[in-house]
A and B are shown apart, each in its own frame.
Chain A
Amino acid sequence: MSSFPFLLVMILLPAVGAAVIAALPRGREQTAKQLALGVSLVVLLLAVLTTVAFDTNGPRFQLTTSVSWIPDFGVRFALGVDGIALVMLLLIGVLVPVVVAASWNDTAAGNRSMRAFFAWLLLLEAMMVGVFAATDVFVFYVFFEAMLVPMYFLIGSFGGPRRQYAAVKFFLYSLVGGLVMLAAVIGLYVVSSQQLAHGTFSFDALRNLQIDPGVQKLLFLGFFLAFAIKAPLVPFHTWLPDSGAEAPIGGGVLLVGVLDKVGTFGFLRYCLPLFPDASRAFAPWILGLAVAGILYAALLAMAQSDMKRLVAYTSISHFGFIALGIFAFTTEAGTGAVLYMVNHGISTGLLFLVVGMLIARGGSRQIGDYGGVASYAPLLAGSMLIAGLASLALPGTNSFVSEFLVLIGSFPTRPVYTIIATVGMILAALYILLMYQRTMNGPPRGVLLEELPPGAENGPVGGESAHDSVLDHHGGATATLTETATATAPARARLRIRDLSRRELAVVTPLIALIIALGVYPQPLLNLIRPAVSATMSDVGADPHGITPTHAPNKGK
């Protein structure tokens, strides 16, 4: 079973699928969608099978494939996964079919075809699998840059009104980081050719190099800049709100859900093991950026009026937590950070999707254009609430486990940073509730409002039809004491909104199920992640077994 080249197939299959979809004749949109869904489901199946074939007690990289590619420079097309990459592959496997289903009824602006959208989506999936599965730094770099192309077209061709600006900004930002990283990759090659018989890009070989600390710092910064832009850490973040806001919902989910994780994945996979001395030297600075980012982005999120930008800023805040977990150099925090990468993809992905569904109904991204949706679309409101609660890391949802692990793991080594970071927990509650309550609660108002003709039944379209009268009955009485209780809607009005359709339910249900399941029983994923994080921590000189408490643990039960 393990001889089957899972990873290669997971790259080639969507790539081929993308080519086939692109080659379909015009007007075969339905076929394109079905093909995209089929291919992405097969990739999900492959990801699951890969997980089954993966042995947590086995060697660090498993299911390896290695083919000579450019022998003159020692480049091999080498693939393999450790636990960290594996969970990311699972995340990709889950998110892409969800995104395909979520984009099912989208229409492209102008004369563009949704065929192209699904083709780019599948190509993006191939590239994302490649970037996580690469075990050769050069191959990683190639996928890292190639990933930009499909995302550029997804944003630039299918995005919102300012899509061109956003796409170019995204592309240039990433390209700058990528080019600096290219210099560092070449630098690594030069160092390896000085120390080894042949220069190489192989991760395993590079990990064993003894690099001069000064050189390490330069190379580290080269990689770090690329990853800090990708992740993104404050102050390299300003492309994300623009891209996140302008991207089509499907593209946006993959952008914040998976693509950005390449940055934090890069910290863990490349920065820490390859440049341990430099990592330790720069850790206080990076932690400072991370913690500043948590608070800074959270405050900014609170002040946003555009829902998609708000979600983008919450992501920046969450990336601060992930970076904190990675650069705290403990197994607990590192494990938490990796789990956070997965959980954030699920919870923010869901939040993005639900926000997108609301925007699709109202046609506006402004929070102020909605209000009182909950009584007309309870499923939509419930989904947003669950996504929001997962975003603010409420216990019982998946994000709690990861945020808790990051913080509890960072506290023993970095108490000050951790204490400041916990303030982010309060701010998270604020920005999520602000968005949820303003759009979903309160009296009905905003773009979806329609006044009823006289004589029509004053109540929601189906559902809790007697709600209004009872509420007025309650509300009117208390208004004498609570001056704030004022009704803003005209007396005879309702919202014109559909609740979630069957297809949309099929989109949100798997993610909600994962949020709850991973919130209650995260251990299977933790078991996958832990060995890889332990290995990384021993690379960087930390205790791979975890934190030793100040006082010997009391074993008496």
Chain B
Amino acid sequence: MHTVPASGLLAASWLLIALPLAGAAVLLLGGRRTDRWGHLLGVATVAVAFVIGLACTVQLGGMSGSKSVNLDLFTFISAGTLDVKAGLLFDPLSAIFVLLITGVGSLIHIYSVGYMADDPGRRRFFAYLNLFVAAMLLLVLGNSYVALYVGWEGVGLASFLLIAFWYRRPAAVTAAKKAFVMNRVGDVGLALAIFIMFAQLGTTSFVGVLGSTGALAGGVLTALGLLLLLGACGKSGQFPLQAWLPDAMEGPTPVSALIHAATMVTAGVYLIARSAPIYDHAPAARTVVTIIGAITLMIGAIAGCAYDDIKKVLAYSTVSQIGYMFLAVGLGPIGYVAGLAHLLTHGFFKAGLFLGAGSVMHAMNDSVDMRRFGGLWRRMPVTFATFGLGYLALIGFPLLSGYWTKDAIIEAAFDHGGTTGYVLGGVGVLGAGLTAFYMTRLMFMTFFGRPRWDAGSASTPVDPHESPGVMTVPMIVLAVGSVAAGYLLTQAFPLSAWLSPVFGTNKLESHVVAPLWIGVLVIGAMVLGVAAAWLFVGRREVPVVRPARVSPVVRAARNALYADAINESLFMRPGQWLARALVFVDNRRVDGAVNGIAATLGGSSARLGRAQTGFVRSYALGMLGGAVVVAGALLAVTAG
């Protein structure tokens, strides 16, 4: 890996992070004085960052030679042989993330102006969003694993703050804690990986670590790969740390769109793609990545079929789609670009879907229960149109975004070869079918059929209406992206060419299964899924109350395959018991031993004290006895 020092506009790429950070600082410190214009500042910082990011990317594209631009800012930590520089690395990989974060980020900021218009905490909301954007940019721009880690935990904090944005709701508060703690579990893995890098190579910078992976032993590389994967699983909601992501939907919907769909949760994919040289030397770790991806994609797809909460369905869909990306980056060189392309298109259509869901909630007095929706396409044409395009993109409707990028992943999975390849590819096809099923179910329940909502109370009547322009425009932009991004990234301006400085060129000439047949297979699965959804949901009336008598499979899916129950019985309860037992030990045993010594001393002194009777004559007897003993001892010494 060879880097060049930053010049021109790239030397100012630190502004990308500094601007949103300054925005957050102003909004948080300014207090109520900034209430009136705070949201505008929030939008402006991210929009300007997007422009800077775009300019930087253009400059990077025009550069010849090395496309890794390094910018050292200052010495962060230097002690002994450890020397961590705070610095940025702008290369094609980080460039696409910068554009995704600031681009989708700007749209969602604009949308939030409308969505949060009635919320008195809107300024605080924009402050946290800006904080998130700054941390996320640091995550993808940092030039060392330590800088990445700082951003990594920074986005965790922002996610925590935003999930608990409505902090009076116990569910939101619990979800925020769950997200933070499960992320921390993953963070420990990332931290340990950094420790191993320093112990083995004496450096934590990408250049230093990734440039000398060849020197490391196989076991060390596998350990690194697995630990980084643990970190990635935590942040990206992958098995076995997936349970926090659906709960995170307690946050405001723009947060779900930006953080828990488009950007933060894809950080795990970034981490693995960034660490490609490590995984290239650790095939075992890479296999585990694909397995984790495959398991998660199935868990997400199955759970997504059973939920009635529109945001939870989308959340499980996110879990499932990120599973696809993990599966892709776990395949090695042939999969990196496919995974990242899917990440980008997913960023568009999933953000669009969430914003659409937010628009629906906005119209329905913040209800999320799809059994109470129905027939909304007539009331909300723009939302329906944009949501519908996002839906088609997600299920892989031919020529829309998902079609190009998901097919590429499934293709790469089959091309992996051998039984593994067939299993992974099969899981991918099955997942595509399930995706089509649950998304079609969502469409039917929300937009078609008979209206099923209550009239609402007199003060807050339910009267579905189209959202204001400030909300629909970002949705339209994202819908356009959902339609076109896939074609643009795979065919018109291939992402593989842009990323070739990072991953090299990996053109596979011979395929295990011809792409045409894969296309047919995937489309077939999709059609089956849509048809099944029509059979089960579309053609009959949706019951307003969810049926209680269902098969065990559906019950398991409704409980997200019992992930929470497992976490609770394996970690939470034993942890609580242990903590309580330790309190007992500490109070009764450790402190008890100390107090016991004190009590023994006190008791014996009281007993000895009884010898002091107060009778002068007994004291005199004591003195006499003592004198006799002394005299006797003297005699014994002198005589003997």
Contact = CB atoms under 8 A, between A and B. Distances in A.
A and B touch in the complex (CB under 8 A): yes
A473 interface: yes
Contacts of A465: 120
Contact of A411 (B195, B202, B594): B195
A332 interface: yes
Range, interface on chain A: 35 or more
B590 interface: yes
A463 B189 CA distance: 42
A235 B121 contact: no
Contacts of B150: 395-396, 400
B3 A557 contact: yes
A288 interface: no
Contacts of A418: 195
Interface in A479-529: 480-482, 484-486, 521-523, 526, 529
Contact of A408 (B184, B198, B201, B583): B198
B586 A546 contact: no
A549 B185 CA distance: 27
Nearest to B119: A470
Given A422-B192, A425-B191, A470-B118, A442 B82 contact: no
Interface stretch (B53-61, B163-171, B383-391, B520-528): B163-171
Contacts of B153: 394-396, 400
Given A238-B590, A412-B198, A475-B166, A426 B81 contact: no
B226 interface: no
B401 to A, nearest CB: 30
Chain A binding site: helix, strand, loop or mixed by DSSP? helix
A174 B2 CA distance: 58
A413 B104 CA distance: 45
Contacts of B201: 549-551, 553-554
Contacts of A238: 586, 590-591, 594
A425 B188 contact: yes
B579 A300 contact: yes
B582 interface: yes
Contact of A547 (B2, B199, B212, B215): B199
Contact of B198 (A237, A411, A471, A482): A411
A261 interface: no
A474 B169 contact: yes
A478 interface: yes
Contact of A553 (B177, B202, B576, B582): B202
A252 interface: no
Contacts of A481: 308-309, 368-369
B420 interface: no
Interface string B173-215: 1101100110011011001101110111111000110011001
A372 interface: yes
Contacts of B181: 426, 429-430, 433
A404 interface: yes
Contacts of A429: 180-181, 184
Given A332-B81, A474-B166, A437 B119 contact: no
Interface in A223-238: 234-235, 237-238
Given A300-B579, A481-B309, A554-B208, A332 B79 contact: yes
Contacts of A336: 79
Contacts of A423: 188
A437 B180 CA distance: 12
A546 B78 contact: no
B211 to A, nearest CB: 5
Contacts of A430: 181
B365 interface: yes
24 contacts: A238-B590, A299-B582, A303-B576, A332-B80, A395-B149, A396-B153, A400-B150, A405-B77, A408-B198, A409-B79, A418-B195, A434-B177, A437-B177, A444-B168, A467-B168, A473-B365, A478-B250, A485-B171, A545-B80, A546-B79, A548-B81, A548-B202, A549-B81, A551-B212
